[in-house]
């Protein structure tokens, strides 16, 4: 347990990166790890690119993740995987939600959106997992549970599936969305078999 693991959860404001990372760290503490996390509040939530950075292990000092230090990067949106690729360590794992949220400058015709972001990332990162989380979430009734599908994939790839995540999810999400979230978690686990 002396090794420190670093996980970056990145996306667009409003996608649920903070809730997902909150669930993750609560489980990690329950598992006996020291955990630290840092995230953005305020201005960056207005449709901006957001990141939650966390580290866990026996003793963690600062949660900031340097370039090339992340064991796993979870991108809730395609191009955020490109934006935060610099954090990933060699032979690290990249999880990408196959979902596009066009930035305003792209919509206004002032910037280009690389629609082949997943192909580009997987051409350099061997351990790339693309997941149709948003599309699957919509099938479950709300796109909001995409974050829990991605949490399921993350739990599996981080080797943390021995913990009772469903009980924790039940505690942390709004009551009326519990069932959809539990299904989402199961889908996420299976998505990276």
Partner 1 sequence: MMKRVMLGNEAIARGAFEAGCSVAAAYPGTPSTEILQNLSKYPEVYSEWSVNEKVAAEVAIGASMAGVRSMAAMKHFGMNVASDAVFPSVYIGATGGLVYICADDPGMNSSGTEADSRHFAPHMKMPMLEPADSQECKDFTKLAFELSEQFDTPFMVRTTTRINHGSGVVTMEDRQEVPVKPYQRDIMKNTNIPALARNKHKAVEERLVRLRAYSNTTELNREEMFSTDIGVICNGISYQYAKEVFGENASYLKIGFSYPMPDEKIRSFAAKVKKVYVLEELDPFMEDYVRQLGIECTGKEVLPLYLEYSADIIRKAFGLPTITSAYHLDTEAPVRPASFCAGCPHRGIYHEISKYNGKIVAAGDIGCYALNINPPFSVTHTQICMGASITAGHGFERAERKADRGLKIFSFIGDSTFFHSGITGLVNAVYNGAKMSVFILDNSTTGMTGHQDNPVTGVTLMKDVTTAVDIRTLVIGCGVKPENIRTVDPYDLKATAAVVKEAYEATELFVVIVKQPCALLKQVIAARKGKHCKVNADKCRSCKVCITKTACPALMISDGKVSIAQEDCNGCTICQQICPFDAIEKVEG
What does the binding site for partner 1 look like in residue numbers (CB under 8 A)? Answer: 12, 22, 25-26, 29, 34-49, 54, 60-64, 66-69, 79-80, 82-83, 85-92, 102-109, 111-114, 117, 120-121, 124-125, 143
Least distance in Å: CB of 109 to partner 1? Answer: 7
Query: How far apart are CB 190 and partner 1 at their closest, in Å?
Result: 26
**Taking the complex as a whole, how short is the minimal distance between the CB of residue 3 and partner 1, in angstroms?**
14
Q: Nearer to partner 1 by C-beta: 48 or 164? A: 48
Task: Give me the DSSP letters along the chain.
Answer: --SPEEEEEEEETTSSHHHHHHHHHHHHHHTT-EEEEEE--GGGGTT-EEEEEEEEESS-------TT-EEEEEESSHHHHHHTGGGEEEEEEEEEE------HHHHTTSS---TTHHHHHHHH-SEEEEE-HHHHHHHTT-GGGHHHHHHHHHHHHTT-TTS-HHHHHHHHS-GGGHHHHHHHHHHHHHHT-
Euclidean distance between CA atoms 156 and 50, whole angstroms: 23
Minimum CB separation of residue 91 from partner 1 in Å reads 8
What's the min distance (Å) between Cβ of 131 and partner 1?
A: 19
Smaller CB separation from partner 1, 48 or 190: 48
Query: Which C-beta is closer to partner 1: that of 4 or that of 186?
Result: 4
| CB nearer partner 1, residue 5 or residue 37 | 37
Q: Given the complex with partner 1, which of 12 and 130 has the nearer CB atom?
A: 12
């Amino acid at each position: 347990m002396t090794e420190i693991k670093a996980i970056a959860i990145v996306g667009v404001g409003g996608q649920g990166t903070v809730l997902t990372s909150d669930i993750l760290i609560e489980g990690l503490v329950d598992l006996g790890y020291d955990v630290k996390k840092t995230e953005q509040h305020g201005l960056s939530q207005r449709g901006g690119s957001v990141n939650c950075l966390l580290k866990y292990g026996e003793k963690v000092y600062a949660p900031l993740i340097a370039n090339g230090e992340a064991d796993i990067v979870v991108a809730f949106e395609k191009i955020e995987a490109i934006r935060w690729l610099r954090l990933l360590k060699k032979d690290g794992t990249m999880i990408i939600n196959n979902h596009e949220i066009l930035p305003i400058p792209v919509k206004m015709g002032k910037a280009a959106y690389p629609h082949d972001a997943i192909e580009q990332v997987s051409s350099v990162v061997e351990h790339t997992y693309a997941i149709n989380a948003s599309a699957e979430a919509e099938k479950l009734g709300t796109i909001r549970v995409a974050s829990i599908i991605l949490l399921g994939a993350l739990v599996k790839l981080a080797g943390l599936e021995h913990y009772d995540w469903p009980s924790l999810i039940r505690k942390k999400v709004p009551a009326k969305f519990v069932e959809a979230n539990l299904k989402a978690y199961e889908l996420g686990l299976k998505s990276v078999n």
